[in-house]
Amino acid sequence: MNRSSKRVRGIIVAGGMAACGVLALAFPAGATPTTVGYRDFSYAGTTAPTADKGQSKLWFHDSRWWGVLFRPTPSGGNFYIHRLDATTQSWVSTGVLVDPRSNVRPDALSHGSQLYVASSSPSPNATLDRTIKFWRYSYDRVAKTYHVDPGFPTTIGQGQTEGVVIDRDSKGVVWATFVTNGKVKVTHTNGSDALWVKPYQLPVGTAATVKPEPDGDVSAVVHYGGTKTGIMWSNQAVADPNTQPMHFYFAVHVDGASDQSWTLTTAASGIRVADDHIHLQALPPGDPAGSLLAAVKTSKTVSTDPLNELLVLRAGTWKPYTFGTVGDGHTRPIVQLDADNRQVYMFATSRCCTGGSILFKRTSLDAIAFPPGKGAPFIKSATDFHISDASGTKQRLGHRTGVTVLAGDDQTDFYLHNYQAL
């Protein structure tokens, strides 16, 4: 592929838009001004490989960006670990296999020299392999690549789910959550990363009665505050969405406590307040701005109502901030934290729900207030008109990492991404 004719790196510049939180993007000489970011390679053979909403496909390690991306093969295709070449802004396959199944959605977590990946299938086809698999990899600093550890993958669950999400607590326990058959499930490692407890229903509130597939509710897990693991899930299981409240719930588990020891809180409640869109980001322990950020989508229908919000947990209380209205038409939001500059970035698809481009806004962590409007383009193409499913990292960002976001266009079956220094 002639990348010089297809890739454009967006450069953030100062100006009036930056002052209000929306950053303008300038373009190198000769670039098409309707294109922002980089067009990568085809993922023909799978669908929506950068989904699902609560998951993360990217991570930063050893001074470079990495990702789990799909590569087509004559027999269908596989997911492999890739590294991002910072000079050419191209994804290079390491040849290290993640999942040979083409119908899965992986979630990646980097911790020190180890990489954890869990993958699950959203397919309703029960004849397919819909086991939820878990891999652990170790990084070879000399060879600059990963290798799968002995004893992996291991099976940690079963069944159709929009996506499994993982995180690791302060005791070294890896947690996973997913929704299947209208129930919020949780599981975790048990003395070894290769040994997991049988998935069990989250023992709080309405975790047993959420909306099933298709287009069902979702859950996501995050470790935060130094000693706590939290699971957020949506609950749209109401007979009449116009008169009965929906919810985003949040259950907290103290590291080292028993499996049945969870404390339930309500992150948001109201008419059409929930949808199956959740993406979580932990703040540094003890941060004065709070402990947790959650990018969520509502089901509201009035043009001026909030459609996508940032929920912030501070001192045990959740507070919503509007990212975009129904009229703005965003969907599939994710949140990323620039800890060095204390800036919050939210990325989302526009328009809902056929895709288009990836837009973003930023705001100060210490005075959250997203500017009105759609935001600025972060990934936009003159040939790919249905870009969607932005995916980033679970890690906090800063000067050393910059920010990288990956997305895809299911009409052209192409990956696209963008990188920006912070």
SS3 119: strand
The total number of residues written for the chain in this structure: 422
pTM of the full predicted structure? 0.92
Residue pair 50/390 in contact (Cβ under 8 Å)? The answer is yes
Tell me the residue ranges of DSSP E strands in 3-56: 7-8, 11-13, 24-26, 37-42
Among residues 277, 293, 295, the alpha carbon closest in space to that of 211 is found at 277
User: Looking at residue 26, what is its pLDDT?
Assistant: 33
User: Looking at residue 147, what is its pLDDT?
Assistant: 98
- Residues of the chain under the 70 pLDDT cut: 1-34
Q: Give every CB contact of residue 242 below 8 A, 6+ residues apart in sequence.
A: 271, 272
User: Does residue 214 have a cis peptide bond before it, meaning omega lies within 30 degrees of 0?
Assistant: yes
User: Looking at residue 205, what is its pLDDT?
Assistant: 83
The helix (run of H) or strand (run of E) holding residue 414 is strand 414-420
User: Looking at residue 354, what is its pLDDT?
Assistant: 81
For the chain, what are the domain ranges? Answer: 3-420
User: Looking at residue 6, what is its pLDDT?
Assistant: 41
Residue pair 333/279 in contact (Cβ under 8 Å)? The answer is yes
The helix (run of H) or strand (run of E) holding residue 378 is strand 376-379
Hey, what are 43's tokens?
A: 């993922």
CA dist 270 and 42 (Å) reads 41
How are beta strands 228-235 and 78-85 bridged, if at all?
unpaired
SS3 132: strand
SS3 4: helix
Among residues 237, 205, 227, 223, the alpha carbon closest in space to that of 168 is found at 223
Beta pairing partners, 137: 115, 148
| 3-420 fold | Neuraminidase (2.120.10)
User: Looking at residue 208, what is its pLDDT?
Assistant: 86
User: Looking at residue 21, what is its pLDDT?
Assistant: 52
Half-sphere CA count of 43, side-chain side, radius 13 A = 26
Beta pairing partners, 91: 84
User: Looking at residue 351, what is its pLDDT?
Assistant: 83
